[in-house]
Chains A and B, each alone.
Chain A
Amino acid sequence: MASGSKGRIEGFARWWAGFFKNRKLEANHAMELGAAAGAFIISIFFFLALSVSLGIPVFVIPVISLLVAVLTPRYVRKYILKIQRQMGDLLLKSMFTIGPYEYFSLILGAALSAFVISSFFFLILSVAFNFATLTAFLLALAVTIVSPMVAHHYIMFTVQKRIREVDVNLLDALRHMLSELSAGLPLATAIESIANSDYGMVSELFKESVVLIKGGEDVDEAFRIVSERTKSLQFQRFVATMSYATASGANIEGALRAYIDELGFTQKNEISLYANEAIRLSTFMIIVTGVIPGLLVFMISQGSVISSIRVPVIYILPIYVIAFPLVKYMLTVRLIKASPGV
């Protein structure tokens, strides 16, 4: 699942990066363009809402929004550079082969795709159910605003999966390593054996350490360097345990066995914590996206008679088509993020 998602993300990101590069759009320009586009869309919504209450003429709105869009990149440049650095580090540590430019290209690409697809969808609805084209366009803009966030969450979720992959495979790899050490094989051979086996990202990290060891580094130093390539806390703790055992001359096999026991216990605990999180999120899910949408239908149908409140159906459309599915999606992503992967 994780490697499939990773491949998909990398493929899309490269495609969009190529798309922007072919149009001579540099990395920073692409990011600033994204910020400007976002600011433009948000300010259109904001000033449209204001125009209703304050009576601002509608023709002024695009002019003000354009001004906001022109000014925004200056102020967000610093923030974009910070995200660029953080995402670059995170993507590198999750063994992604794309950089921050591709990441921002993907976010922008998601927004553009969402705009095109949702415009098409809402325009068809506007023709079929006879509502204003401007409303269809505004609904498409709402989806466009939400889509970069969804794309970002999807990338973060895949990154998280990659980190979990290390945690899950580490226990099996260490058990394999222990069986080799117990059989009397030297530590370097056991490490090489893990590197050549199929333990996903753990084997990749071990492969890198084998290269360093063969290049003359000490085992503990090689692992310390390699541990900087992953965000997995379990792997970093394993490296610390190994370093301590090799530096102090302690029994490596014993230290490894103790660490394996601890890791097994931690995984069991994580499943228990995950169950608690699942119960909490399920309660939210049932109330916010099950009960409320159901009751809202009654409000719409009976409110018009009982309290003479007739909600225009067009107001219901964004709630059911965008807001409720978005809440459901966010809760599901949150649950997947909390998953121990076991």
Chain B
Amino acid sequence: MAEAKSKFKLKQYAQLHEYLVKRLAYDCEIIGGPKGPDYWARTAIRAGLAGVLLSAVLVYFLSGSMLYAFAASPVVGFFAGYAVTTLPQSRAHAKIEAIERALPLFLSHLVSTYASRRNMREALLMSAHVDYGPLTKELVDAMRIYEATADVEQAFYRLKGFENRHITRTFDIISFAMESGVDIAKTLNMLTSDIQQNIEARDDKNSRTGLSVWMVFASSALFYPLFAGVGVTIITILETLLGAQLYSANDKGLLFFTLVFYLVVAVIIDAIYIGQVRYNSVRKGIVRFLPLMLGVAVAVLIISMTVLQTVLIG
């Protein structure tokens, strides 16, 4: 019986591991390097398990309630595991962004070489010697594949799969020129100026919305948890000073649950909101901001409650 149970547990672990490996494979493929999806999947599972254990102990010691410890530990464990899975995703996004930012300079060099030689292959080989950050390595690898196979689609398959509109379109046009021999100097010039303008417009938008975005971040991850923590603690302090119960223990439990529920929901929606404003992507908001915001919000809530209680009540 015990053996069957442990087998079942291992199967669940294997399924979760397999799911995570599949989910992270794309991002790890973009990042490259020795840490593959298997490493991240294992780390995420370990972080999740550690989160479950630590939060169960911490919540039990802070609240004294076994029910709260049981209720909070799976949630904390889930978010701890999730936070680890966002790391490769964030790195992949950062790499794609760096490649996108290098495109205007790369295209300017490419167009100037292409205009003088009228040969896309040579223009690409020459441009691959310049340092464009992560783009250079990708370019060198792509040209290596092209030299070995003479297959344009295969060579730029990886770059086209980066799910970035500018990168995909750039290498679509370059592939088209290499396959058909059509002169694309004017088109590349237009594309360069378009990408440059889009990046500038986005930077302008980000600089204008920067303060608002940080205020949204602060309102749900800093001010609200601070007010909620202090507010709940003040009830206890007032009750101690007055020597009477303002709210029943049941009401205080419900109030605390309501405030924490809203804290989590608010942080999730605000992370989506910030992702939409800054990156025009809901997913990026969840990946880049949710773990940080949730961590800060929970820390502020716990600190505001414990510090105030310790200082004023002892």
Binding site for B on A (CB under 8 A): 1, 125, 128-131, 168, 171-172, 175-176, 178-180, 182-183, 185, 197-198, 260, 264, 267-268, 271-272, 274-276, 278-279, 282-283, 285-286, 289-291, 293-295, 297-298, 300-302, 304-305, 310, 312-314, 316-317, 320-321, 324-325, 328-329, 331-332, 335-336, 339-342
Pick the most buried of A271, A274, A290, A336: most chain B CB atoms within 10 A of its CB. Answer: A290
* A339-B276 in contact (CB<8A): yes
Contact of A264 among B172, B194, B282 (CB under 8 A): B194
**Can you name the residue of chain A whose Cβ is closest to the Cβ of B214?**
A282
Whether A178 pairs with B187 at a CB distance below 8 angstroms is: yes
Contact present for A295 and B277 (CB under 8 Å): no
Instruction: List the A side residues contacting B253 at CB < 8 Å.
Output: 128-129
Residue B259 at the A interface, CB < 8 A? yes
Q: Judging by beta carbons under 8 Å apart, are A129 and B198 in contact?
A: no
In the complex, the answer to whether B228 meets A313 with C-beta atoms within 8 Å is: no
B276 touches A131 (CB 8 A): no
A286 touches B216 (CB 8 A): yes
Contact between A290 and B258, CB atoms less than 8 A apart:
no
Task: Bin chain B's interface residue count.
Answer: 35 or more
For A182, give its contact among B173, B186, B216, B219 (CB under 8 Å): B186
Which of A175, A289, A295 is close to B190, meaning CB atoms less than 8 Å apart? A175
Knowing A316-B258, A336-B276 touch, does A301 contact B187 (C-beta < 8 A)?
no
Interface string of B117-159 (1 = CB under 8 A from A): 0000000000000000000000000000000000000000000
Cross-chain contact A314 with B254 (CB below 8 angstroms)? yes
From A274, A301, A304, A335, contact of B273 by CB (8 A): A335
Known contacts A179-B176, A293-B224, A294-B224, A272 near B201 by CB under 8 Å: yes
Q: Which of B192-233 contact A (CB under 8 A)?
A: 194, 197-198, 201-202, 204-205, 208-209, 212-213, 215-216, 219-220, 223-224, 226-228, 230-232
Interface residues of chain B, those whose CB is within 8 Å of chain A, are 67, 165, 169, 172-173, 176, 180, 182-184, 186-187, 190-191, 194, 197-198, 201-202, 204-205, 208-209, 212-213, 215-216, 219-220, 223-224, 226-228, 230-232, 234-235, 238, 242, 246-247, 250-255, 257-259, 261-262, 265-266, 269-270, 272-273, 276-277, 280-283
With the chains together, A180 CA to B173 CA distance in Å? Answer: 10
**Cross-chain contact A321 with B261 (CB below 8 angstroms):** yes
Kindly report which residue of chain A lies nearest to residue B186, judged by CB atoms: A182
Chain B hits for A336, CB < 8 A: 276, 282
Name the 3 nearest CB pairs between A and B, nearest first.
A290-B219, A297-B231, A294-B227
Residues of A within 8 A of B266 (CB): 289-290, 293, 324-325, 328
> What residues of A have a CB within 8 angstroms of the CB of B183 in the complex?
182-183
| A282 contacts B212, C-beta separation under 8 Å | yes
Contact, CB under 8 Å: B198 / A131: no
SS class, residues of chain A in contact with chain B: helix
CA distance A316 to B270 in the complex (A): 21
**Pairwise interchain contact B184-A310, C-beta atoms closer than 8 A:** no
> Which B residues are CB-close (under 8 A) to A291?
219, 223
A129→B254 contact, CB < 8 A: yes
**A–B Cβ pairs within 8 angstroms, 25 of them:** A1-B282, A1-B283, A175-B194, A180-B182, A185-B182, A198-B172, A264-B197, A271-B198, A272-B204, A272-B205, A279-B208, A282-B209, A286-B212, A290-B219, A291-B223, A293-B266, A294-B227, A297-B227, A301-B232, A301-B234, A302-B234, A312-B251, A324-B262, A332-B273, A335-B277
Determine the distance from Cα of A296 to Cα of B239 in the docked complex, in whole angstroms: 19
The residue that B280 contacts in the complex, of A185, A305, A317, A339, with Cβ under 8 A, is: A339
Looking across the interface, which residue of chain A has its beta carbon closest to that of B255?
A313
Report if A172-B201 is in contact (Cβ < 8 Å); known contacts: A1-B281, A282-B212, A294-B224.
Answer: no
Q: A175-B190, A297-B228 are in contact. Are A282 and B282 (CB under 8 A)?
A: no
Q: Which one of A1, A129, A268, A290 contacts B216 once the chains associate, using CB atoms below 8 Å?
A: A290
Closest Cβ neighbor of A177 among chain B residues: B187
